[in-house]
Chains A and B, each alone.
Chain A
Amino acid sequence: MCHQSVGLIQSIIEKAGIPTTSITLCREITEQVAPPRALFVDLPFGYPLGAPNDAALQTRIILAALALLAETVPPAIIRDFGALP
């Protein structure tokens, strides 16, 4: 449900004119809610930025999500963060 909520909030902010990007831990939900841009991180629910107290990993994920802002939408995009340590 968190993923639906985030996708809906994201879509509403985008509609207000601010470009948005998000993390998703669950492609199945994000594909259905279809917000503009999402970075798929292959981790369990509860760990959107990788690991607690791992500033380097958190920063890499944040930068990968922000990099999606350069991509043209529509259509909605979901990109893979890729392999995790």
Chain B
Amino acid sequence: MARLSDLKLAYQMFMKAYSYRRVDWLPGARLSKPLREARVALVTSAAYFKPDQPPFDASIRGGDSSYRVLALDTALSSLGIAHRSDAFDARGIASDKNLALPLDRLKSLVEQGVIGSAAPRHFSFMGSISAPGRLIGTTAPEVARMLVEDGVDAVLLTPV
């Protein structure tokens, strides 16, 4: 079980005192077709980046709110991990990137006919963002627009 009490004391104190942000999502969206016909995209906060992309910048105060576009044909084994957080064990995602961005699983589910199709673009953020103003105001809305452009019907998001 992941609990705040698992974290180092300094993180616990920070996170207990921290006032978490919310964003209004009402009224909520509905899946307009069966999953076997739906186009699915993945979003992770695991800070994956491609060799031809700049890594995330851990030196930015409040966190790096940028994102990396990962095309469906991205070789997972080629991805780097730029996470600034030492609050989690990164050995799992280092050994298998599907653990946080399951592109191979998604492709298999499409082949099996369980999911209609995989989106052409998937997205990676670096999740350690304590000052999420730019994430909320700029970068997450940009990603949402690209998902709409790509005709995505449903999104699965995975934190680390």
Q: A-side interface residues toward B, CB under 8 Å?
A: 1-26, 28-29, 32-36, 42-53, 55, 58-59, 62-63, 65-66, 69-70, 72-74
Contacts and interface: CB of A to CB of B under 8 A. Distances in A.
Contacts of B35: 66, 69
B87 interface: yes
Contacts of B28: 14, 19, 36, 72-74
Given A1-B128, A16-B141, A11 B22 contact: yes
A28 B6 CA distance: 12
Interface residues of B, number: 69
23 contacts: A1-B15, A1-B63, A5-B45, A5-B127, A6-B45, A6-B157, A6-B159, A7-B22, A8-B22, A9-B140, A11-B24, A11-B25, A12-B143, A17-B29, A19-B154, A21-B156, A43-B2, A44-B88, A45-B2, A47-B92, A49-B98, A58-B102, A62-B106
Nearest to A31: B20
Contacts of B157: 6, 9-10, 13, 20-23
A1 B135 contact: no
Given A12-B140, A18-B148, A46-B88, A66 B154 contact: yes
Contact of B108 (A3, A10, A59): A59
B23 interface: yes
A6 B25 contact: no
B147 interface: yes
Nearest to A2: B127
A71 to B, nearest CB: 10
Given A11-B24, A33-B20, A49-B100, A4 B132 contact: yes
A74 B27 contact: yes
A81 B61 CA distance: 35
B43 interface: yes
Residue among A12, A22, A35 with the highest chain B CB neighbour number at 10 A: A12
